[in-house]
Amino acid sequence: MTLDRLQIGKKARIAVVKGQGALRRRLLDMGLTPHTEVMVRKVAPMGDPMEIQLRGYELTLRKDDARDILVEEG
> Taking the domains of the chain in order of start, what are their residue ranges?
3-73
For 46-72, what is each residue's pLDDT tens digit? 889 999 999 999 999 999 999 999 999
Cα separation, 64 vs 46, in Å, equals 14
For 32-48, what is each residue's pLDDT tens digit? 999 999 999 999 998 89
As a CATH number, domain 3-73 is 2.30.30.90
Taking the CA atoms of 7, 12, 18 and 19 in sequence, report the sign of the dihedral they define.
positive
Cα separation, 73 vs 11, in Å, equals 6
The pTM of this model reads 0.87
